[in-house]
């Protein structure tokens, strides 16, 4: 669970860096070139398969672990209640994960599937010999719909809470969260859980505002 989670955390950083090019203000050229490169690199295509495998494993493990934990302790602990000893995000990882899975289904249908199997318009640049699939336009069209952009922004709040517990928990499970590193991991985890979803949310928010003329 922790290893698949750590891989997905790494994926999020790379994915965010790539997607922030949507806001480069160059009419989408850098994003289109990046997207074209990603879809033609053998290494990236292999990582992509690994990525899908890890998402599925992460979900399956979470279901299995939840069942095991319930079977092992049908009744709660004596003494302080979970409300006093655990964070809200740690108690709601299941529901947060389910909401993120729902987000992923909508997200992959809208972008990944569309770019791979849909009728994507192409664009050519005067100083470049080949025309490129206009992935930027596909994203622009999607985020020009208020409900779609809003769905992303709200989903990023769920992602933030999921990461708030998941980041620290993953480091704890692999044994790195000892008394020496724990404060550092907590600080970095908290910053990660705020910054990454915030920057992801910024993209649909800005692109929606641009689409209505701001």
For ligand HEM, the binding residues (CB under 6 A) are: 15, 19, 22, 35, 38-39, 48, 51, 100, 107-108, 111-112, 115-116, 135, 139, 152, 159, 200, 203-204
DSSP secondary structure string for all residues of 114-161: HHHHS---EE--TT-SS-EE-HHHHHHHHHTSHHHHHHHHHHHHHHHH
Q: Residue 192 and residue 154: Cα distance in Å, rounded?
A: 17
In the complex, the smallest distance separating the C-beta of residue 91 from ligand HEM, rounded to whole angstroms, is: 21
23: which 2 tokens?
């806001």
In the complex, the smallest distance separating the C-beta of residue 59 from ligand HEM, rounded to whole angstroms, is: 12
Residues 6+ apart with CB under 8 A from 123: 28, 32, 131, 132, 133, 134, 137
In the complex, the smallest distance separating the C-beta of residue 120 from ligand HEM, rounded to whole angstroms, is: 10
Minimum CB distance to ligand HEM smaller for 176 or for 202: 202
Are the beta carbons of 207 and 140 closer than 8 angstroms?
yes
Q: Residue 128 and residue 183: Cα distance in Å, rounded?
A: 50
In the complex, the smallest distance separating the C-beta of residue 11 from ligand HEM, rounded to whole angstroms, is: 7
In the complex, the smallest distance separating the C-beta of residue 64 from ligand HEM, rounded to whole angstroms, is: 21
Minimum CB distance to ligand HEM smaller for 22 or for 177: 22
Minimum CB distance to ligand HEM smaller for 82 or for 154: 154
Give the CB-nearest residue to ligand HEM.
48
- The three-state (H, E, C) secondary structure of 60-71, written as one string: HHHHHHHHHHHH
Minimum CB distance to ligand HEM smaller for 54 or for 182: 54
Minimum CB distance to ligand HEM smaller for 158 or for 171: 158
């Amino acid at each position: 669970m922790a290893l698949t989670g750590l891989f997905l955390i790494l994926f999020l950083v790379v994915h965010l860096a790539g997607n922030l090019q949507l806001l480069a203000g160059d009419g989408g050229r850098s994003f289109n070139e990046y997207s074209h490169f990603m879809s033609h690199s053998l290494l990236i295509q292999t990582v992509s398969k690994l990525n899908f495998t890890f998402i599925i494993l992460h979900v399956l493990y979470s279901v299995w672990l939840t069942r095991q934990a319930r079977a092992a302790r049908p009744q709660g602990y004596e003494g302080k209640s979970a409300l006093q000893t655990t964070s809200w995000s740690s108690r709601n990882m299941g529901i947060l994960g389910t909401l993120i899975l729902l987000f992923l289904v909508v997200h992959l249908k809208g972008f990944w599937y569309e770019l791979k199997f849909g009728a994507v318009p192409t664009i050519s640049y005067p100083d470049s010999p080949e025309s490129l699939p206009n992935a930027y336009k596909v994203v622009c069209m999607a985020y020009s719909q208020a409900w779609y952009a809003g769905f992303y922004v709200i989903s990023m709040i769920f992602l933030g809470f999921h990461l708030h517990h998941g980041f620290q928990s993953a480091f704890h499970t692999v044994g790195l969260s000892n008394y020496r590193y724990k404060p550092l991991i907590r600080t970095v985890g908290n910053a990660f859980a705020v910054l990454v979803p915030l920057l992801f949310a910024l993209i649909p928010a800005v692109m929606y505002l641009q689409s209505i003329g701001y």
